[in-house]
Amino acid sequence: MVRLYMLSDYHYNTHTVLDIFKDGVKKYGNKVLLNRHNGKQWESFTWNQVDAMVKALASYFIDLGLKPGDVVSIYSENRPEWAIADLATLSIGGIDAAIYPTNSAPEAAYILKDSSSVVCVCSSKFQADNVLSKKGELPKLKKIIVCDDIHYDDAMVISFKDAVNAGNAKLHIEEIDKRTKNIKPDDVMTLIYTSGTTGDPKGVMLTHKNIMFICLTFNKVEALPEGFIHLSLLPLSHSVERTMDYYSVLERGAVIYYSRGTEYFAEELKEIRPQCDILVPRVFEKIYNGVMAKVKEMPQNKQKIFNWALSVGLQAAPYFMAAKRKPPLLAVKYAIANKLIFSKLKNALGLDRVICWGAAGAPLAKEIHDFFWAMNLQVRKGYGLTETSPVLAVDGSPKIKPIKSDGWICPFPETQIKIADDGEILAKGPQLMKGYLNKPEATKEMFTEDGWIKTGDIGVLDNEGYLKITDRKKDIIVTAGGKNIAPQVIEQRLLIHPFIEQIAIVGDARKYIVALIVPNFDTLKQWAATQGISATSNDELVKHPDVRKKYESIVNEVNQEFGKVEQIKKFTLLPQQFTQETGELTPTLKIKRKVIQKKYAEIIEEMYKE
């Protein structure tokens, strides 16, 4: 296939994100760049307005005495101030450290201390109070800047608005330009802390070159149009959102809407009708399960029409994924299916303008991937680590390279991938981190002697260089009988079911595997009502014999798809979800397997009693 890579005016060895932003201000000026919802309506910020605030805040930082290489932490959800603080920090030659907005006081203090942060930009009272409660442990911290308009009787605290006003009163444009020009490609640009599924999080040092390589190469393969509408949902503290959903978006002159969070996401899709977004697989699973649940409520004749349309769409999906023309008869059938079902469904969900969606953070089940492609909704898979800025493989425009199903991901330019003897994915390329901050031994452990980064993931390559991830190396279960089991594969299959919200499979060094299952209580309660089952609480519901039988049938059905050693022998239904607040999930919704095993040890042991 002929490659149609987009050309760029930038190169990762000579330019930085600041060049992209500066040129964007010149080119787009009074066009809208950022949007946030203020509780009543969407509020817009133009490129010029953002630029003015960036210069003012950068000037305030200089007056505070910040020098090149000093660290500013950003402890906030996605909002315009996040981007402004980021660009202002970079403009003075600084480094920013990202803190998830939901992190506790000890978690935030750890990052502030480890990074030697001089300033912390906090979103609201929650974050500011957390930092203030730990300020005695943070001798290098000079200032806390609070984005919300909150007053504190503490000289360390200033509002974002007042900081910008102070900077405006004494602009340092020449000094900012001088510092910006002195930035080198190999200078550290940002510290992105790993989620910490085990132990303390590590500060990944990513350089301007690392970030620019991903930013530019991602845009090259995705071939997105200039000025597209983007809805930002994943936290900017995460490397995926930071690099591809922020910096790459800047380079395309796109319009960014900051989502208010997952509880508003369905509403915002209909309101904004975005053209591009990167999401975690759980969001796709929820949309899929929601649609399929609605279908089951339809009259039989409408269910038949939907199922026929979906079967036609699944026949057409390989042609969409290869950017090939459909055979005439299939084209006619698809046109009918699209008119009767797909176009109406996309309009109802707010997906009628979607160019593509990215799926990152975990593998996406084949059934869900193909479901969206059947509607000609491009879901492009990606894989990488924070330590790789964060891309190692990604699906781009199918006009450039065909997209494959069943978890196979397109190779990424200038990136070498190989599989070690034990199945671990190893990689080389311009995106590899500089190292972990203050952790030389941990940095050394991440690389082979000849410079390949060890991903910790198990995978395979096909003869065309496409990569498929099968599991995390540390998550592989080795049973008492010595059999290796990849729990994520089984978990993904069960998560497709509308009755299952979350699942964690355990069984290391045991005779068989067991599962902790969190039901989808909305779906379960609807079903229970039709069965005449009454329960006053989730705890009562999961203990009901008929509910237990329902889940036994679900697990038994899925078990048939796996070999004997991979089948779940016993399971327990839990009355509450795994959450970040209760410690079982990372900020990107990955389960902390060791935490879950420790927290639910008694329940797990009960399942192994003979």
Residue-wise pLDDT tens digits, 67-92: 999 999 999 999 999 999 999 999 99
pLDDT score of 201: 87
pLDDT score of 480: 85
pLDDT score of 6: 63
CATH superfamily of 476-607: ANL, C-terminal domain (3.30.300.30)
User: Quick one: DSSP state of residue 496?
Assistant: T
Rounded to the nearest 5°, which phi and psi values hold at 531?
A: -95, 0
Element at 428 (helix H, strand E): strand 424-428
Q: How far apart are the first and last CA of the chain?
A: 58
pLDDT score of 475: 87
User: Quick one: DSSP state of residue 513?
Assistant: E
pLDDT score of 589: 81
CA distance 309 to 312: 5
pLDDT score of 473: 86
Exposed/middle/buried for residue 609 (C-beta within 10 Å: 0-12, 13-18, 19+): exposed
Nearest to 222 by CA among 196, 191, 254: 254
CA distance 481 to 147: 56
CA distance 459 to 384: 12
Whether the pTM exceeds 0.95: the reply is no
Nearest to 490 by CA among 510, 465, 466, 513: 513
- Which residue type, as a one-letter code, is found at position 337? A
All residues at 6 or more sequence positions from 593 whose CB lies less than 8 Å from its CB, including other chains: 197, 475, 487, 504, 506
475: left (phi over 0), alpha (psi -120 to 50) or beta: alpha
Nearest to 434 by CA among 216, 196, 187: 187
pLDDT score of 3: 47
Residue-wise pLDDT tens digits, 477-516: 888 888 889 898 899 999 999 999 999 999 988 999 999 9
Contact 145, 159 (CB under 8 A): yes
Counting as low any pLDDT under 70, the low residues of the chain are: 1-7, 195-199
3.40.50.12780, 3.40.47.10, 3.20.20.105, 3.30.70.100: CATH of 17-272? 3.40.50.12780
CATH superfamily of 280-473: Luciferase; Domain 3 (2.30.38.10)
Exposed/middle/buried for residue 154 (C-beta within 10 Å: 0-12, 13-18, 19+): exposed
Instruction: Judge whether 17-272 and 476-607 match in fold.
Output: no
Q: Spell out the domain ranges in the chain.
A: 17-272, 280-473, 476-607
pLDDT score of 1: 40
Contact 564, 512 (CB under 8 A): no
